[in-house]
Homo-oligomer: A and B are copies of this chain.
Amino acid sequence: MSGDQRPRTQAERSAETQALLLDATIISLVELGYARTSTTEIVRRAGVSRGAQVHHYPTKADLVVAAVERVFGQQEQQFAERFRSLPPGERTVERAIELLWSIFDSPAFQAILELVVASRTDEQLRVVVQAVGARFEQSVADLYAEFFPDLARTPVGSGLVGFAFAVLSGAAMSDYAGFGDPRVTVDLLKALTGIVDPVLEALNDERHD
């Protein structure tokens, strides 16, 4: 059936099994949440044996840490690709926010949310999450600086990416927190970016009294 009878190399076997395991981990995080995600459940979903899992990721922590890197990396790459493939005329701040929102509004971000919250009370996980999270933001900030150099030069403009990340995280969460409307929040964020300068002035005035 699967026409390829050529034996796979060790590297290929390794990579495929690891991908199966990490994707299963991420999907389990999305569907069951962190608390109910067990290694048993992961190997079941991945369709690999316990031995295979323990070979590649000896402990549950190893597995989760690797999943963090994978899911952040995927989103980071996806955002960059999508934004770069926009027709030049549409490479606006507003479009960038819409694109970013499509990331934060995705199942993948639900997994990230589980991991971020779990990382609060897990030293080992927190180190990785913060590092990878910061790298993610930095990658978006680099694109931002590349395409909107004028905005990026201002003090507030340079912090705007971090602000957008915070707002979009909150918006994504408000979906099931019972407060706020993500669409309104995102629209307001987009509107805000259109008036960065007045905000900047207001902020400066305020800090100098």
Contacts and interface: CB of A to CB of B under 8 A. Distances in A.
Given A188-B203, A195-B195, A198-B198, A177 B133 contact: yes
Contact of A131 (B163, B178, B198): B178
Interface stretch (A11-19, A47-55, A77-85, A164-172): A164-172
Contacts of A179: 133-134, 136-137, 162, 165-166
Contacts of A187: 203
Contacts of A120: 33, 110, 113, 176
A19 to B, nearest CB: 24
Contacts of A206: 190-191, 194
Interface string A110-122: 1001101111111
B170 A184 contact: no
Identical chains bound together, number? 2
A66 B110 CA distance: 25
A159 B174 contact: no
Nearest to A188: B163
Interface centre among A137, A174, A179 (most CB of B within 10 A): A179
Contacts of A59: none
A33 B163 contact: no
A156 interface: yes
